[in-house]
Amino acid sequence: MSAPAEPPRRVFVRAPNWVGDLVMATPALARLRAGFPGAHITVGVRPYLQPLLSGSPFFDELVPLPKARGLRALWRQARTLRARGFDLAVVLPNSLATGLLVRLAGIPRRLGYTQGRPFTMTEGLRAERNRPWFSRRGPRRVPRPMPRYYADLLDLLGLPPVDDRPRLHVSPAEEAFIDEWLRARGVAPDAPLVLLNAGASFGASKLWSGDRFAAVARALRDRHGLVPIFLAGPAEVDLVRGIAQQADAVHATDPVLSLAHLKALVRRTRLMVTTDTGPRHIAVAFSVPVVCLMGPTDRRYTDYCLDESIILRKDLPCAPCHRKTCPLGHHDCMRRIEVDEVVAAAEELLARFAPK
């Protein structure tokens, strides 16, 4: 479907709800800004994700949208949007609630994937089904890299394409904060860093052994002079402190870094070693080499911009299962990844992308 003769004046974009998905949606935001340069673009986002988009030139304002607890809360959010007079909504998440929000807001053009909510969209796509609706085995839709998944939707607007590289921005104030944060922990701002992300807010099935993470940190420090820093989310503080103590390494737990400051830290690092979680995608946005330890998740959702990444995973009959906890109780998809192969992958990336 081609774009209308009159481009939209006010565009509302409902952003994804997870760190990684939001980072992978930034090419879509860039494309909307380039395609509608005269429009006022508003992005609705979970409050905790707002710092991730700080400094972005791809929209005019952010509107915090906490999770609506019930129809009354959803209606209050819709009334707020209705008062802004949007004429186009682009809904990137697939939930029924996000579709209902823009319909209740009275936005006349509503673009989004239609599976499970066809009456809420005026135009959109239906994702290719991977399995019958009654089956619970495997993903419901055919896996596709999320930047491309969002791009397919925007193709309906007839906008010029952009590449899949995520786009994040860091301010001088955020850089200065990280300078001081590193100094306070005895790390020079220009020291070569390796970030290790051992947690996984998704669930226990993504976790790798803390002992092994500590061993990787020690190897990269002893062999290559890198300063290991362990990252943590709010729910991972105790886990990460324990691992960092084993490695005698710095940890980002006191306090946990905001997403704005995490961006600034990631941008200056040499390498990241991580499970398949949000920080991985922040690293991709800044062209930081990544060793990703992938277990229960399907890599086809995130196979994009892989030139600077090495994905370590084991082909098992039960994987990918996308379960938060291992239904078989043994977590073999993660346990079979060995310390030596992680270190070897890290050393390959360090050699390939050595500073010039």
Q: What is the mean pLDDT of residues 147-173?
A: 96
- Position with higher pLDDT, 132 vs 75: 75
Q: Read out DSSP for 217-230?
A: HHHHHHHH--EEEE
Domain spanning 10-126+141-155: CATH 3.40.50.2000: yes
DSSP code, position 129: B
Q: Same fold for the domain at 10-126+141-155 and the one at 172-352?
A: yes
pLDDT tens per residue, range 28-81:
999 999 999 999 999 999 999 999 999 999 999 999 999 999 999 999 999 999
Global confidence as pTM: 0.93
Lowest-confidence segment of 60-64, 299-303, 332-336, 350-354 by average pLDDT? 332-336
* Mean pLDDT for the chain overall: 90
Indicate if the pLDDT at residue 10 is higher than 90: yes
Q: What is the mean pLDDT of residues 205-219?
A: 88
**pLDDT score of 134:** 46
Check residues 262 and 236 and name the one with the higher pLDDT.
262
Question: Which of 238-242, 268-272, 299-303 has the largest mean confidence?
Answer: 268-272
- Which residue carries 């988009």 as its tokens? 53
Q: Residue with structure tokens 């070693």?
A: 273
Local confidence band at 349 (pLDDT 50, 70, 90 cut-offs):
very high
pLDDT of residue 64: 96
* pLDDT(322) > 80: no
pLDDT score of 324 more than 80: no
- Please, which residues bridge with residue 45 across strands? 64
- Determine the topology of domain 172-352 in CATH: Rossmann fold (3.40.50)
Could you tell me where the beta strands, DSSP code E, fall in 240-300? 250-251, 271-275, 290-293
Domain boundaries, the chain: 10-126+141-155, 172-352
d(CA 81, CA 12): 9
pLDDT of residue 356: 73
- CA quadruple 125, 15, 322, 347: dihedral sign: positive
C-alpha neighbours within 13 Å on the C-beta side of residue 131:
9
User: Average pLDDT, stretch 167-175?
Assistant: 97
pLDDT digits (tens, 9 = 90+) for 80-106: 999 999 999 999 999 999 999 999 999
Q: What is the dihedral of CA 13, 11, 67, 19, to 10 degrees?
A: 30
Share of the chain above pLDDT 70, in %: 89
Going by C-alpha positions, the residue among 178, 152, 173, 151 that lies closest to residue 164 is 151
- Tell me the average pLDDT across 250-266: 94
